[in-house]
Structure 1
Amino acid sequence: MVIPPWEEEREDISLAEFYKRRFGKEIFDRIAEPLFGSIYACIPENISVKSCWPRALQWEKEYGSLIRSMLARRRMRKKMGDSGKKKLAVFMTFKEGMSELTKTLEKNLENVNFLTGRSVLNLKTNPGGRFTVILDDGKSVESDACILATAPSYATAEIVKSIDTGLADILMRIPYVSSATITLAYKKESFPHPLRGFGVLVTRSEKTQVKAISWSSTKFNQRAPEGYVLIRAFVGGAEDETMVYQKDDQLLKVVKEDLHKMMGINVEPILTKIYRWPSSMVQYTLGHEKKVKFIEERVKQYPGLYLIGNAYRGIGISDCINNATQTAEQVVEYFTK
């Protein structure tokens, strides 16, 4: 396989093109496509590498190729005391679920007033730079600065359209797709699969509706009582959103058929639970960075207004935390000018 030379930066290329040119179609089809497809619920041919995987571009620019960058980073780990040997991934979560994070923050933040159970309808700007936040109960809140951490971006668009229709329009142009998770529980004694590892990612060639499966009780022991197995199947995404909106019995039928095909599961689950997430998975399509830059420049017209969330520069929790930290620093700087 010929590794393509470093190219002058193009405006944007897709994840699929970037990966195929460097590693070949087979590795893309069998490894990269199911990996990126499961993370972003996307069609990689439509997704921007500049927005979704900017570190890869940086590594390639620094070292001349991704292979050289991996070798160089491995040597750096060795110098820092890391043997470089392959290790199993470590998964971490909260015992009570993700809501434990926000509840703990609320409990431990002093001198902060929280208003919950209310929806924000829109935003108004006032002379002197203050903002009026209009709530769904007819009341309003005055503020010197306003951070819109709403997700998805189309929810933010509804809030800001009263002050800037152009900003609202570009926020609405960030696309989203729907997905669903189906959790199934079984008695361990009758479960036919060894559940080695932590789950599976499914390639397009399998032609199944299930795109990925996670061994929930293997990743997190507290997710199931002793003697039971809990797994979670993922359907939907950009490849086929129609599955998300099937009736429960039909969706379960298709999922169980796919599980039988892939894992040999021929016993009935003792418990099932379906969660649907309509228009929830943001798509960093080609040209996403241009949209984000437009949004950032537009927001600068309203000092004290900030937009954060996974619609802009990273979908992961760590990305959101980093962006929130940077925004908090900007707010402090704004108030101390």
Structure 2
Amino acid sequence: MVGGGISGLVCAHALQKTGVEVLLAEASARPGGVIHSVRRDGYLLEHGPQSFSGTSQLRSLCTDLGIVDQLLEAPPRAPRYVLVNGELQAVPMSPPAFFTSSLLNGSTKWALLRDIFGNSTPPEGDESVAAFVRRKFSDQLLERLAGPFVSGVYAGDPEKLSIRSTFPQLHEAEKAAGSVVRGMMRLAKNKKGPRERATLNTFRGGNETLVQTLASRLGSKVLTKTAAVNIFRQTAFEALLTTVEYAAVAVVSLGYAKRDVGHSLDGFGFLVPRTSGLRILGSVWNSSLFPGRAPEGHALLTTFIGGATDPSATKLSSEELSNIVHGEIARLLAIKKTPVFCNVTIWPRALPQYNLGHSERLALIHKSLARFPGLFLTGNYLRGPAIG
């Protein structure tokens, strides 16, 4: 197997459990890919994903690995914020909150009612996330919620991301029921097994606990600093694989004395619309979500910058990036002094972009793959960018 990120490690672990002899080659000095936790100066940093969804499959894997007791869960009611007109406003997390929130105007709320009681048919061809939200709801919902979500979470451009590939359930819901809301309710009702409670998790020692444990189970079967250099390339197939675009993202972790932060930091963090004029995509308040992320009396805030809508950001120096981030979050969170801690990590290929035509690209990849018996592909460009 080639590639020791989370996909490669889990795949190798599953194969080894069935008795298959595996050998995993990883070019870098450590397995885990973008999942990298580091302790420094009393802070516990995540250089990559800050947390993950606690799906039943992931909990089952953790149980199998003997690390389920090390899981931490974020407060389920932690508010999420979005920047609107220079102020952080709470995102409505339930239907009643949606209809009473001042975040969205009457036209947007009426559009939701129109979807519930009306009927619509998705277009035949692929449709961008932005076009879908405008068609079904409103420009305001795109600007204030959908856009910040896909920019902050997927580092993507809603004008380019495919609704079918990025949020297939929304597309299928409208296709099946003529309504996104009714269709989602039907999908939930027809889903087999007990209903899962959505959770946000990490490990007591950081996300790297998962990849370290997987690598430990594989032992000598994981070869680090071992690059694949002599694999024969079939030109047309290689060209097909390289058509999947990736967004570059910088992860900026800043530590502050709590007394220097005017905001309560009570919540998950915030997302930033691209129309705000700021360069940051969003910020996670790590020390508010999980214990042991910062020294006593301090706060750890991790902010993201770059992505598909601002690719030039990741060309800046670490000092320039930390200055931009501090300057922008200081105004929003009433931070009075400079950070006492700083760490910047740049990922040139952070997240795959499920842009328009992505499902067709995957179909061609799978069709071409049939010509290479014994070759199998896995990874975040195929089945989703998240850990869980």
Classify the TM-score, shorter chain.
0.7 to 0.9
Check 1:285–1:189 CA distance in 2 against 1; reply closer, same or farther (3 A cut).
same
After the TM superposition, list the runs of 4 or more consecutive aligned residues in structure 1 that deviate by more than 4 angstroms. Answer: 70-77
**Alignment-derived partner of residue 93 in structure 1:** 202
Whether the 8 Å CA contact 1:177–1:282 is kept in 2: the answer is yes
- Find the partner of 2:226 among 91, 96, 118: 118
**Alignment-derived partner of residue 14 in structure 1:** 128
**Alignment-derived partner of residue 213 in structure 2:** 104
1:259 equivalenced with 2:340 (yes/no): no
- Residue 206 of structure 1 and its aligned partner are, at CA, apart by 1.3
- Structure 1 residues without counterparts, runs of 5 or longer: 124-161, 319-337
- Residue 163 of structure 1 and its aligned partner are, at CA, apart by 3.6
Of the two, which has the highest radius of gyration?
A: 1
Check 1:186–1:173 CA distance in 2 against 1; reply closer, same or farther (3 A cut).
same
- Structure 2 residues without counterparts, runs of 5 or longer: 1-110
Check 1:305–1:17 CA distance in 2 against 1; reply closer, same or farther (3 A cut).
same
**What one-letter code is carried by the residue in structure 2 that aligns with 1:114?**
V
Greater Cα shift, 271-280 or 250-259:
250-259
Greater relative contact order structure (CA < 8 Å, 6+ sep): 2
SS in 2 for 1:174: coil
SS in 1 for 2:343: strand
Partner Cα separation in structure 1 for residue 371 and residue 362 of structure 2: 15
Partner Cα separation in structure 1 for residue 230 and residue 148 of structure 2: 39
Check 1:74–1:197 CA distance in 2 against 1; reply closer, same or farther (3 A cut).
farther
Q: State the aligned residue count.
A: 273
Partner Cα separation in structure 2 for residue 113 and residue 264 of structure 1: 50
Written as runs of structure 1 = structure 2, the 5 A alignment for 1:149-228 is 162-228=232-298
**What one-letter code is carried by the residue in structure 2 that aligns with 1:294?**
L
Whether the 8 Å CA contact 1:91–1:219 is kept in 2: the answer is no
Whether the 8 Å CA contact 2:306–2:312 is kept in 1: the answer is yes
Written as runs of structure 1 = structure 2, the 5 A alignment for 1:1-337 is 1=111, 2-3=114-115, 5-7=119-121, 10-72=124-186, 90-109=199-218, 113-123=221-231, 162-318=232-388
Whether the 8 Å CA contact 2:122–2:175 is kept in 1: the answer is no
CA RMSD of superposed structures (Å): 2.5
Check 1:114–1:217 CA distance in 2 against 1; reply closer, same or farther (3 A cut).
same
Partner Cα separation in structure 1 for residue 267 and residue 307 of structure 2: 24
SS in 2 for 1:222: coil
Greater Cα shift, 258-267 or 203-212:
258-267
**What one-letter code is carried by the residue in structure 2 that aligns with 1:122?**
N
